[in-house]
Structure 1
């Protein structure tokens, strides 16, 4: 018996390692051989109709064995005992084993960062993992998202996804690896946020992000203002951010409450915070003061700044004769982010005209 068990174990392993096509072919060949063998032994009740035979074969292979169909003759029973039962059960067991193994491998592959999200679009990519700092960054992005967006983390040196329920994960050799950016779907990403372990890594990753995603908005954090200025000059459309703690300390010393104002304006967890949106193309120009009044009255939004299309300057103290046009970006304070699709710009222009 140990010899027979060893043989069946080897047969099972051989079938488990087959491709799905080969396993399907094995099922088909065994089913045909079973039909021929049962027909040759006179089991016409089992082989007379294709549906009846298929029903018998499947219930036998899955060991369900309802008992409503079975060989009636001694020869048919012997053929079932020697060939049909062992072969069909072994094939079905191999099928289950391969299915479980493939499903497990798929989930382990994604958990370990070896998946491919190259066909994803409109998502956010977070480049670099710095422990609790990046965890808070991801949580802030998720809290501030309009929909159930699932960001993708691209980082080296991790054994598995650090936040498997909330983000997807791409394991990279380094933060400037072009192949890793492709697997993260960088070409279709809307935003890429970069924060390396130091400014050199952040600089290399920012350049790689722009090369992989020419149309995405790239936001990078630097410790040194010099590196940030270099990115602002050399990488079009990239937003380089440095720590504002010193400036905020000075401002708070001169203007009491400034730190609280900054917390409110840039927090993703409080009401009355600052947001931005791009004005859709095609709307009629609106005077800044008129838009301020119309947006406050119709949408409870307080307009605080404007970035004209094609300019990198944000104006927080716009002139009274300034106009807002399609393609511009406005900054506003509100209790929650406004979905650009829900903003009635036609109503704003009509209200201004009235």
Structure 2
């Protein structure tokens, strides 16, 4: 499993308008500092128009100085006023410029660029995996996919929790904030071109609704769902789930099986995780294997054969002649992973 670098993280909750208001207050504060300094040192200023420097003249001079307009009708003549402009007003001028530049980038350039970039990525997205729900099961599924060298750019996480999505983005995957039971949200995730949809929202009723939405938008995609209650498995199957995983019943079965020996759980963990000593792999029968018996295949140990919708044990007669289009489940040792496609 991938281990993220531990750090304290809290997503920002400020709206764009709030952020803009804070920046506006910062600009007013900086201008106020310059205004106060000019008012204190007003004796060091000279008005070339009427010779008198009023408060309105100070406001006018401060604004045109901070904004670098500088008409020259009011000028600093004393050393103190010149030093104040040099070492205080000049940094204020730079900070104000950076605030305006950052605001323009954040609210105009960056948002436009991000919309264009996200649109381009969405248009190119296909044969990807969508993970609906980034709780414990969803995050574990994403980490295992990445551990199995699945490209991060071909994983899309959908969740309503912005904090969870920020954690997912740290792994390099794309995210969509929204309710996966809604058509629009899954359309943004390009479910119509997805290869697999993993459904693990943490609630069985929500999972069934997501399955129905997926099947309406993408009948061809494989849908794997995590169901907690055994009585809801049939509902998930009727809704269109291709694969149903019940972590509660599976965990109970594994615990019961451990009474027959202390190493059963360790072996099963090896089978289902990338870092195990042995791995389960599903693949199509290759052309050079057509006509051979399942036991004769040397790339790995075939433990089950699928022909259409029928599961075939390797001891059955139909497993003695592999056919084109068959799918096999085989055990592969780590040293053989790099030599088999």
TM over 0.5: yes
**Residue 198 (structure 1) shift:** 1.1
Partner of residue 117, structure 1: 122
After TM superposition, the structure 1 = structure 2 runs for residues 282-297 of structure 1, keeping only pairs within 5 Å, are 285-289=290-294, 292-294=295-297, 296=298
CA contact (8 A) 2:283 2:328 kept: yes
Task: Report the 3-state secondary structure (helix = DSSP H, G, I; strand = E; otherwise coil) of the residue aligned with 2:149.
Answer: coil
Taking structure 1 as the reference length, the TM-score comes to 0.59
Task: Report the 3-state secondary structure (helix = DSSP H, G, I; strand = E; otherwise coil) of the residue aligned with 1:230.
Answer: helix
Gap change, CA 1:102 and 1:230, over 3 Å in 2: same
Counterpart among 309, 329, 332 of residue 330 in structure 2: 332
Counterpart among 248, 253, 258 of residue 264 in structure 2: 258
Counterpart among 273, 277, 286 of residue 283 in structure 2: 277
**Residue 129 (structure 1) shift:** 2.2
Separation of aligned partners in 2, 1:125 and 1:149? 11
**Residue 139 (structure 1) shift:** 0.6
Counterpart among 205, 209, 227 of residue 200 in structure 1: 205
Task: Report the 3-state secondary structure (helix = DSSP H, G, I; strand = E; otherwise coil) of the residue aligned with 1:304.
Answer: strand
Partner of residue 89, structure 1: none
Task: Report the 3-state secondary structure (helix = DSSP H, G, I; strand = E; otherwise coil) of the residue aligned with 1:333.
Answer: strand
Q: Deviations over 1:157-201 (max 9, x none)?
A: 3255222232111011x2201111011111111111000121111
Aligned residues: 251
**Residue 261 (structure 1) shift:** 2.0
Counterpart among 133, 137, 145 of residue 137 in structure 2: 133
CA contact (8 A) 2:192 2:218 kept: yes
Of 162-171 and 178-187, more deviation after overlay is shown by 162-171
Q: Deviations over 1:38-70 (max 9, x none)?
A: xxxxxxxxxxxxxxxxxxxxxxxxxxxxxxxxx
**Residue 306 (structure 1) shift:** 1.0
CA contact (8 A) 1:287 1:321 kept: no
Separation of aligned partners in 1, 2:153 and 2:289? 32
CA contact (8 A) 1:119 1:185 kept: no
Unaligned runs of 5+ in 2: 1-57, 68-99
Partner of residue 302, structure 1: 301
Separation of aligned partners in 1, 2:65 and 2:293? 80
Partner of residue 273, structure 2: 267
Unaligned runs of 5+ in 1: 11-93, 344-354
Partner of residue 316, structure 2: 319
Separation of aligned partners in 2, 1:248 and 1:125? 28
Over aligned residues, Cα RMSD in angstroms?
Answer: 4.0
Task: Report the 3-state secondary structure (helix = DSSP H, G, I; strand = E; otherwise coil) of the residue aligned with 1:134.
Answer: helix
Of 216-225 and 137-146, more deviation after overlay is shown by 137-146
Task: Report the 3-state secondary structure (helix = DSSP H, G, I; strand = E; otherwise coil) of the residue aligned with 1:197.
Answer: coil
Separation of aligned partners in 2, 1:278 and 1:102? 50
**Residue 145 (structure 1) shift:** 3.1
Partner of residue 13, structure 1: none
**Residue 269 (structure 1) shift:** 2.0
Indicate whether 1:156 and 2:160 are aligned: yes
**Residue 302 (structure 1) shift:** 1.6
Counterpart among 192, 214, 231 of residue 236 in structure 2: 231
Partner of residue 182, structure 2: 177
